Amino acid sequence: MSVVADESGTARCAWSADDAEYRRYHDEEWGFPLHGDRPLFEKLSLEGFQAGLSWITILRRRPTFRRAFSDFEIDAVAALTTSDIERLMLDSGIIRNRAKIEATISNARITLELVRDDPGALDRILWSFAPDPRARPPQTGEVPAVTAESTAMSTALRRLGYRFVGPTTLYALMQSSGMVDDHVEGCWRASR
């Protein structure tokens, strides 16, 4: 089943049907074009934390992640120290994975170098991999997990030194930031 209708008859992508926060995210964020270095750095970071977990786990903890990582202000995250890592490892409101925490800080430092003298650089890099619009997937099973574009984005970011940026993670980033729109046929968002 690719779409599910709620009690009001609104049909949504089936993955969003079982949870009110998922429905809100589906209706208001997923697939909407997102721009800006800070918002995209946040998405990149959260998608990295999601690796190996369900997105709803991250979504429910997003307010705590934002508090823990200074609203993903790039310069603030880049300035985090070893003692901050230890503090974050004790924060049960986030995913306490040292490698992911360290990667987020390292990725912030790389991003800061990119955007310090060239605001918008992260935005331009990420969006340069956005594919041309394509036909809407008729079913959930036809939504890819990896594409040539997400693989190319992964390769480019890894060359810059980014971590937790595999092709699957970056395809999820492309979906969540509207670089691709994978709302399936029959979803109310597909008709917008």
For residue 148, pLDDT beyond 80: yes
Residues 166/150, Cβ–Cβ less than 8 Å: no
Active site residue 73: no
Choose, from 15, 30, 42, 47, the residue flagged as catalytic. Answer: 47
Q: What is the pLDDT of residue 18?
A: 82
Give the three-class secondary structure for 103: helix
- How many other C-beta atoms lie within 10 A of the C-beta of residue 62? 15
Could you give the residue ranges of the DSSP H alpha helices within 19-120?
A: 20-28, 37-50, 55-68, 74-78, 82-89, 98-116
Known active-site residue 47: yes
Length of the chain in terms of residues written: 192
Instruction: List binding-site positions for Zn(2+).
Output: 13, 26, 183, 187
Confidence (pTM) = 0.95
Q: pLDDT digit string (tens) for 28-79? A: 999 999 999 999 999 999 999 999 999 999 999 999 999 999 999 999 999 9
Contact, 38 vs 72, CB < 8 A? yes
As a whole number, the mean pLDDT across the chain is 95
Which CATH number describes the domain made up of 3-177?
A: 1.10.340.30
Domain boundaries, the chain: 3-177
Does the annotation count 188 as an active-site position?
no
H helix runs in 117-166, sequence order? 121-127, 148-160
Percent with pLDDT over 90 in the chain: 88
What does the pLDDT look like over 35-47, one tens digit per residue?
Answer: 999 999 999 999 9
Q: What is each CA distance from 126 to 30, 46, 155, 176, 179, in whole angstroms? A: 16, 15, 12, 13, 9
Cα(7)–Cα(12) distance, integer angstroms? 12
Which residue ranges are tagged as binding site? Answer: 13, 26, 183, 187
The least confident of 97-101, 138-142, 184-188 is 138-142
Distance CA 6, CA 17 (A): 7
Return the residue matching tokens 């089936």: 14
> For residue 1, what pLDDT band results from cuts at 50, 70 and 90?
confident
